[in-house]
């Protein structure tokens, strides 16, 4: 397995951990798509995928995907840095469609597909919800923040200041 990855993707930085965990750190969308196609042909399945918000970085989001093989138990963690837009893996791994909808809903990462059939509807928040609540620049819980004003002895509701769309 490791020699196959070394041979086919020798230009990428690959760090191997002990036992059966491998990490791939990618820079471009094209490499993620080609590596995913290659791993899919080797009977790998997409277990999970999530986003890490690195707010002060040039490529703000890191998408971390976990791919595994049933027969050997090998797991590959693929990390891809992206500013906001990334190519969808839904045509390679059908389970990625729901995960991508969740990442769009909570973080605002936009997934596009060559076939054009990426479904980016809200999945966890209401359709009228504004913003993406898991971003680090999201301005508070929901539409209003509530605080108790000791001097007036009442609860004050204020609209939070958000930086996201």
* Mean pLDDT for all residues in the chain: 76
Asked if the model's pLDDT at residue 72 lies above 80, the reply is no
Lowest mean pLDDT among 4-8, 27-31, 47-51: 4-8
DSSP state letters, the chain: -HHHHHHHTTTSEEEE-STTEEEEEE-SHHHHHHHHHHHHHTTEEEEEEEEEE-TTSSS-EEEEEEEEETTT--EEEEEEEESSEEE--TTT-TTHHHHHHHHHHHH--EEE-SSS------SSS-TT--S-TTSTT--SSSS-EEEEETTTTEEEEEPPP----
For residues 34 and 96, the model is more confident at 96
- Domains in the chain: ranges and CATH: 2-158 (3.30.460.80)
Tell me the per-residue pLDDT of 97-122, one tens digit each, with 9 for 90 and over. 899 999 999 998 888 887 655 778 88
Asked if the model's pLDDT at residue 10 lies above 80, the reply is no
Lowest mean pLDDT among 99-103, 110-114, 137-141, 147-151: 137-141
């Amino acid at each position: 397995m490791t020699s196959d990855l070394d041979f086919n993707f020798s230009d990428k930085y690959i760090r191997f951990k002990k036992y059966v965990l491998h990490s791939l750190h990618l820079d471009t969308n094209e490499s993620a798509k080609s590596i995913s196609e290659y791993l899919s042909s080797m009977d790998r399945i997409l277990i999970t995928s999530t986003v890490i918000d690195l707010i002060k970085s040039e490529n703000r989001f890191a998408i971390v995907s976990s791919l595994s093989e049933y027969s050997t138990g090998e797991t590959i963690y693929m990390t891809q840095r992206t500013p906001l837009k990334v190519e969808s893996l839904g045509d390679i791994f059908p389970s990625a469609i729901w995960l991508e909808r969740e990442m769009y809903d909570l973080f605002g990462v936009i997934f596009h597909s060559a076939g054009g059939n990426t479904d980016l509807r809200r999945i966890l928040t209401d359709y009228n919800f504004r913003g993406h609540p898991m971003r680090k620049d999201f301005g508070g819980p929901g539409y209003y923040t509530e605080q108790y004003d000791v001097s007036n002895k009442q609860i004050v509701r204020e609209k939070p200041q958000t930086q996201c769309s």
